[in-house]
Structure 1
Amino acid sequence: MYRLLTLVLLLFITGCVENKKSPYRTERINFIYEKALQHVTDRQNLARLEKELSGYDAIYLASKSNRQGAQGTKELDKIDDKLATILEKYGLEKAVMAFKEKYKHKNLMQQTDDNEPLPSDKFTDQNLQKLWSQAQTGKFSQKELHSLHGELKEVERKMRIYEDQLEDFKKVPHENSIHHDIENIGEKTKKLKAANREYNDHLDEVHRRVTSEEYSPFSEPRVKRLWKLAQENEKLSQHELNVLKDELSHFESQLKKIEFHKEEVSRLQEDAEERGKSKTQVYENLELSIKHEKLNRKARKLEKYLEEKIIIHREL
């Protein structure tokens, strides 16, 4: 009798747990809800989220019954993106990442099993599109390319999140405003830095995978070095990083100008040696060499200023 009662009790508890864990009909919405319960503590927010998840539960069910081939997969990706936006409103960025990570491989296998061609849609960001084009001419299999495309789409989504956070941050009244709110600015800054870190870390990861090199928005080695120093400095605010990035862009433009000038000086010297040097040519070459040296000094001075600016922030 005791064993029978114990068995009934266990079955009852198991049933309650299963019902509690599975309030929705689709696996992915139940997965999201389980994560939400760990993070959303406000009851009103949780109630609103439950209502929105119910709507998406029905959408996923309808999508599942109508889904066919590549078109259906694209439609599912659109629904995923909309759901991700909803989750971010509730501060569930980590749940979004876990959600995407869990299901991207499942979607990928569905595509490759059906021998679907590679996606033809282009990326809005030029750097991402360039990286995708480079990947297609490289060493990757069809399956790996599908995976890479999904990764790049995820990077693109994180980039949009960062850009939205940046726009939101710009709207906050700052220090000289009568509506200045330190706590609000602190919270917005924290979110902005987190979004920037998520975006850059993922981009760097994919970039390394495609090129075997660390990602940098710059091409000149001297500028890359300074940008890496700045990225490693946690004491720099996002605003300071943006300002520094503009200054580094100016520095890179100077270096490219110097390189062009150097090539021009070399070309003129070669022409002079072939044709014989006249007094005018000697004077012009000397003038160009002096100008080239001035440009070099100016660039070295700017490089030193930028490096000291980064190091001083690190030591403060």
Structure 2
Amino acid sequence: MDLTSYVIDLARAAGTVDKRCLFAPATEMRVGRYGEREAAFHFVLEGECTVDLPGRTLHLGPGDAVLLPTSPPHTIRTAGPAPYRPSFETPGSTFDTVRSPSGEVGTDIFCGHFTMASGAGDLLLRSLPDPLVVSFGAANEAVRSLAALLRTEARSESSGSAAILNALCTALLALMLRHSGTPAPWTAVTDDRIAAALNAVLDDPGAQWTVDRLAESASMSRATFIRHFTRHTATPVATFITQLRMMIATDLLTDPSHTVASVAARVGYHSESAFTRTFQAATGQTPGRYRRTATVSRGTP
């Protein structure tokens, strides 16, 4: 499994469509703050809109998507003569449809959120740009297909539509990370040599991954590897390895058959105390407390 897919899986990222917005010009919709480890997203299939965030306004067009890791309250508006007209909602079995009072449709937006697990999900959200804006463009075949599937399921709301829509949302997240164009630790890198080195860490996170060893895995010199790695991930090598190890550790700690010491060893720490310090710095909790919290949240006896 590639790194981006693995990290999405570790974070237990689950997508949900909350609303489909069919807006005429001069329409607005206010969106409240989401809960902990919930990241709002908006995906524009047709037309244009602005997303007004605290201290910043985003302009989105067809094929644009935005992910808000901290999900602050924000407002979606379509251009037109003031005053803006409030939208109205029609409840649905799978999601709500939000429309302009006139019934005219110029902008088609899917709005929803991703829910992440504690630990790995927290680390993933904190590592992403806020906001993360991706312009796929009209020529991206995968995104055109995704948009068509979203529209088909939105029209039908048939048996299984919720599951299909949620799976499509998760696919959207993977595509956003792949095409973000913004250096971040978990995005898919375009250099196959760097990707090979990252996958080697993924296959054996407990190994002694020095820069020299990673450079060798990438078939690069040490200096070339560091330069390419930093450009692709915007993260120092040692920081990246620590982040990945801690994400893997959060997953292992949910299995009661693993002791804290065995988890520490699996991710490359010979000292349980050193592992505990690093884990607490990354997650804000000790491994033992994290395990108890995660177990309760998952309903494990």
Q: What TM-score, normalized to structure 2?
A: 0.23
Structure with greater proportional helix content: 1
Bigger fraction of residues in strand: 2
Greater RCO, CA 8 A, separation 6+: 2
Q: Which is higher, the Rg of structure 1 or of structure 2?
A: 1
